[in-house]
């Protein structure tokens, strides 16, 4: 298994363990401390557990090698896992909002002051987890891991909102218990918006949207850096899982033999993989160079 995949799997496993512990702590504190905002936060952490399991499963499937039924590998499972996580987050936000409205209109106990200390611990823990997982996601270029990290950050937001709501309820005294529910309702709105934001990159990858221009330019620069290459055109790049797949038309001296053209194609592949190691496959179509049709910028 590639080192990038191992790191991605470890980040998901860490998320599962941390979220399980935090969900139990927040649920118990919310029930004993009479604060629905903390219970809603526990629900969000429970969703985090399942989301990390989904991400782990998606990455595990994506790590499987190509086979007869999946000649391009199983990388799409990684983006699919990210989309499922985003949808789970949006569903959790909807459920939290419904219960928060009930808490606002119904009698409510004043939250216990010690629940604020629980939230401080939660906020610090989840922020540290977010930074660690997000760094891994960026480093290994994993859509699912990045979405999982953003899920952790949404937990920070809900915990912060719960902290504010409980603080208002404690300062206001009897009759201000509704502030706890308002905080949960506000948090649900933020969670839903974050779910939409997380869903977009996963869907883009599933729809074969071209990656960042910087990646395309690096690939084009590597190809044109091969001395025998006169020009390139029709450069197409797509991302599947942690890997890129490149389709490229290369123009070279029309007098080259078939063998020499094949050698040039091999040099271009090596040059591209040297610059962008996450490129898994490069499909090259060799063409005779015609000055009148010189195209140095890739067609996308």
Report yes or no: 79 and 144 within 8 Å, Cβ to Cβ. yes
pLDDT at 264: 93
Task: Report yes or no on 298 lying in a domain.
Answer: no
CATH of the domain at 220: 3.30.70.1350
Contacts of 11 by beta carbon, 8 Å cutoff, 6+ apart: 132, 133, 136, 137, 145, 148, 149
What whole-number distance in Å separates Cα of residue 114 and Cα of residue 39?
A: 15
- The answer to whether residue 130 scores a pLDDT higher than 60 is yes
Judge if 141 and 239 occupy the same domain: no
Task: Report yes or no on 227 lying in a domain.
Answer: yes
pLDDT at 265: 92
- The answer to whether residue 295 scores a pLDDT higher than 60 is no
Report pLDDT digits (tens) over 192-207. Answer: 888 888 888 888 888 8
pLDDT category at 274 given cuts 50, 70, 90 is very high
State mean pLDDT over 246-275: 92
pLDDT at 111: 76
Q: Return the structure tokens found at 280.
A: 């898994």
Task: Report yes or no on 300 lying in a domain.
Answer: no
Judge if 187 and 63 occupy the same domain: yes
CATH of the domain at 67: 1.20.1510.10
Residue with tokens 């991302």: 239
Judge if 152 and 287 occupy the same domain: no
Judge if 227 and 196 occupy the same domain: no
State mean pLDDT over 3-22: 80
State mean pLDDT over 118-141: 87
Judge if 270 and 157 occupy the same domain: no
- The answer to whether residue 298 scores a pLDDT higher than 70 is no
Domain boundary (183, 206, 229) is at 206
- Among residues 102, 103, 97, the alpha carbon closest in space to that of 43 is found at 97
Domain boundary (206, 241, 257) is at 206
State mean pLDDT over 209-233: 89
Judge if 114 and 253 occupy the same domain: no
Judge if 201 and 217 occupy the same domain: no
Report yes or no: 120 and 229 within 8 Å, Cβ to Cβ. no
Could you tell me the residue range of the domain that residue 224 belongs to?
A: 213-293
Judge if 53 and 201 occupy the same domain: yes
Q: Return the structure tokens found at 120.
A: 């401080």
* Host H or E run for residue 286: strand 279-288
Judge if 63 and 178 occupy the same domain: yes
- The answer to whether residue 48 scores a pLDDT higher than 80 is no
Choose from 32-36, 45-49, 58-62, 203-207 the range with maximum mean pLDDT: 203-207
Judge if 66 and 200 occupy the same domain: yes
Tell me the average pLDDT of the chain: 82
Judge if 48 and 197 occupy the same domain: yes
pLDDT at 246: 93
Q: What is the DSSP string of 145-163?
A: HHHHHHHHHHHHHHHHHHH
Question: In DSSP terms, which residues pair with 244 in a beta bridge?
Answer: 239, 279
Report pLDDT digits (tens) over 78-124. Answer: 788 888 888 888 887 887 788 778 777 775 667 778 888 888 998 99
Report pLDDT digits (tens) over 140-190. Answer: 777 778 877 887 887 787 788 778 888 887 888 777 767 777 877 887 888
Percent of the chain scored above 70 by pLDDT? 93
Judge if 98 and 185 occupy the same domain: yes
pLDDT category at 269 given cuts 50, 70, 90 is very high
- Among residues 14, 10, 8, 135, the alpha carbon closest in space to that of 62 is found at 8
State mean pLDDT over 283-292: 84
208: region left, alpha or beta (phi > 0 left; psi from -120 to 50 alpha) = left
In the chain, how many domains are there? 2
Domain boundary (206, 238, 254) is at 206
């Amino acid at each position: 298994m590639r080192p990038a995949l191992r790191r991605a799997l470890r980040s998901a496993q860490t998320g599962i363990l941390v979220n399980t512990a935090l969900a139990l702590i927040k649920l118990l504190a919310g029930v004993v401390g009479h604060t629905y905002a903390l219970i809603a936060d526990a629900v969000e952490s429970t969703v985090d557990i399942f989301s990390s399991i989904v991400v782990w499963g998606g990455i595990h499937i994506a790590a499987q090698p190509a086979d007869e039924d999946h000649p391009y590998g199983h990388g799409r499972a990684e983006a699919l896992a990210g989309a499922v996580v985003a949808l789970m987050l949006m569903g959790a936000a909807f459920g939290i909002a419904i219960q928060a409205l009930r808490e606002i209109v119904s009698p409510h106990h004043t939250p216990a002051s010690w629940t604020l200390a629980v939230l401080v611990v939660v906020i610090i823990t989840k922020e540290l987890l977010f930074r660690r997982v997000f760094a891994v996601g960026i480093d290994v270029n994993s859509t699912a891991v990045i979405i999982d990290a953003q899920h952790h950050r949404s937990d920070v937001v809900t915990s912060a909102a719960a902290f504010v709501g409980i603080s208002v309820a404690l300062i206001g005294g009897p009759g201000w218990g509704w502030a706890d529910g308002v905080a949960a309702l506000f948090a649900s709105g933020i969670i839903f918006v974050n779910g939409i934001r997380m869903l977009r990159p996963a869907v883009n990858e599933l729809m074969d949207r071209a990656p960042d221009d910087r990646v395309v330019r690096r690939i084009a620069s590597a190809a044109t850096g091969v001395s025998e290459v006169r020009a390139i055109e029709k450069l197409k790049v797509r991302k599947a899982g942690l890997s890129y797949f490149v389709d490229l038309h290369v123009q070279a001296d029309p007098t080259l033999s078939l063998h020499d053209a094949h050698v040039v194609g091999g040099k271009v592949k090596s040059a591209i993989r040297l610059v962008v190691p996450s490129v898994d496959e490069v499909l090259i179509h060799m063409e005779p160079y015609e000055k009148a049709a010189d195209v140095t910028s890739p067609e996308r």
